[in-house]
Amino acid sequence: MTNSEARNFMSVQFAALSENESFARVVVAAFVSRLDPTMEELNDLKTVVSEAVTNCIIHGYDSDPAGLVSISASIDVETVHLTIEDQGRGIEDLELAQQPLYTSKPELERSGMGFTIMENFMDEFEVTSEPGRGTSISMKKTIVSKKALYN
């Protein structure tokens, strides 16, 4: 493996505050920018980060700012590996939670499409959760360089 193919990685942890959702989007976008993603790819990544971080804050911690949200990301050649997790309440019924339009917080006017959006925007998507211990969302997306599109 040459230096240009070496795995690059980053991790960040922040308070479970809704205003940190935009911070998370910017951090991941900046990290991935060296791959020269298309605007669509970049927007897809920013959207899944928003959905996952919002789920951690609202569902994992019930909007308690004492909670921590963790993001780790790595790049292998053109593939972005992204994990977003909390140590919050966890998900009792993961299969139900992944159904389109299901929300455990209808009073907050949640659409119930977060997991569906993440799954559709990424090449690979997996959720693991344990009640009382938290939830981890792992995703992968291969970035097709804009340079390759024009050659």
Which residues belong to the active site? 51, 55, 110
Strand partners, 134: 130
- Can you read off the two tokens belonging to residue 31? 């990290």
Q: Are 125 and 119 in contact (CB under 8 A)?
A: yes
- Can you read off the two tokens belonging to residue 137? 């969302």
Alpha carbon 143 to its chain's center: 16
Whole-angstrom distance, CA of residue 32 vs CA of residue 94 = 29
